Amino acid sequence: MARRFLLAAAAVAALVGHGGATVAQEAQENGTFTVLFENDVFYRTDRDYTNGVQLAWTSPVLAPEDWAVQLANKLPFFSYSSDVRKVYALGQDIFTPSNIALKNPPLNDHPYAGYLYGAVGVLGKTPAIDGAPDRLDQLELQLGVVGPASLAEETQKFIHSILNDTRPEGWGTQLHNEPALLFEYERSWRFRRKLFGDLELQADPHLGAAVGNVYIFANAGAMARVGFNLPDDFGPPRIDPSLPGSYYFEPRKEGALGGYVFVGVDGRAVAHNIFLDGNTWQDSRHVDKNILVGDLEYGAAVTWNRFRLAYTHVFRTREFKTQRGADQFGALSLSVRF
């Protein structure tokens, strides 16, 4: 009897201790807030994909009863052993032709277009098991609007007035209002190799696809990173279509400075792009798109305590046949853990 009592007491103590650790862990992380800004102003251009802004909140690892975990467990491409998080985001993308001073831009140039959307996503990180690499599955649903209701015209004119920049005159030719729906899924793998000391090399290949009236494409690529005290993440986030990255990050050493440089590529086979093909159910401006599009990016990220700051330089091949040349733009992101 005494032995059973001692075993029961030990079990209760273990449960209490585990509960205390869980509470402490939850107190350490209540989610991650990310601000993401992409613009070609970094390279003194103002055309094609010219601006993107996104605000996102990512939860900590969720309890089994949360709806996102229940959903992930029902999806065939998520793992039952995943640490599941959910993401909520709000964003706006802006597209313009090369000469924004013209009220009637050439028909063979990129149409004016805006996209305002809200998104909800589920992330599932599966740790390395039996020699397999770490894995991240990301599923996202975007709901929004393309056209004047996206407020892209008002946003660009307001920003240009503040900067005393050229006033965009051709928004009267933009795509018409259209409800927007987009499903996206991406899987990334992470391979690690210790170099020396705290220096580490990581390679993150990925596969993905998107389906909706905004985009239809399949993509594949990889990112290589090298740095010290690398956080537990899959690279800095970007606005799609892009390399995947991850909104969350976990410092390897609490309070320690970390950083890495990276280079990545992503290739897409594009069946539909509303910003080039024009409206789905109405006549609108459009251009002949290229089916194959590629991104080359490089940059750096710094992490310290609860902060991750990253900058990415993106080269994008021509997206439509009459495009003046390849695009390049910058992406700046700041993620803060709470």
Q: What is the mean pLDDT of residues 121-131?
A: 88
Give the gyration radius of the chain's Cα atoms: 22
* pLDDT score for 13: 35
Of the pLDDT bands very low, low, confident and very high (cuts 50, 70, 90), residue 7 is very low
Calculate the CA 88 to chain-centre distance. 12
Tens digit of pLDDT for each residue in 226-270? 999 999 999 999 999 999 999 999 988 778 899 999 999 999 999
Tens digit of pLDDT for each residue in 73-115? 999 889 888 999 999 999 999 999 999 999 999 999 999 999 9
Contact, 262 vs 299, CB < 8 A? yes
Helix then strand then coil, in percent of the chain rounded to 5, is 20, 50, 35
* pLDDT score for 118: 98
Give which of 227, 215, 199 is closest to 277, Cα–Cα.
Answer: 215
Calculate the CA 218 to chain-centre distance. 16
CB crowding 49-80: b at 16 or more within 10 Å, else e: bbbbbbebebbbbbeeebebbeebeeeeebbe
Q: Which residue is associated with the tokens 């729906």?
A: 181
Longest dimension (CA), the chain: 90
* pLDDT score for 5: 32
Examine the pLDDT at 220 and tell me if it is beyond 70.
yes
Give which of 276, 312, 313, 311 is closest to 293, Cα–Cα.
Answer: 276
Give which of 219, 220, 140 is closest to 181, Cα–Cα.
Answer: 140
How far apart, in whole angstroms, are the C-alpha atoms of residue 221 and residue 238? Answer: 14
How far apart, in whole angstroms, are the C-alpha atoms of residue 149 and residue 178? Answer: 9
* Percent of the chain scoring above 70 in pLDDT: 92
- Mean pLDDT value across the chain: 90
Examine the pLDDT at 11 and tell me if it is beyond 70.
no
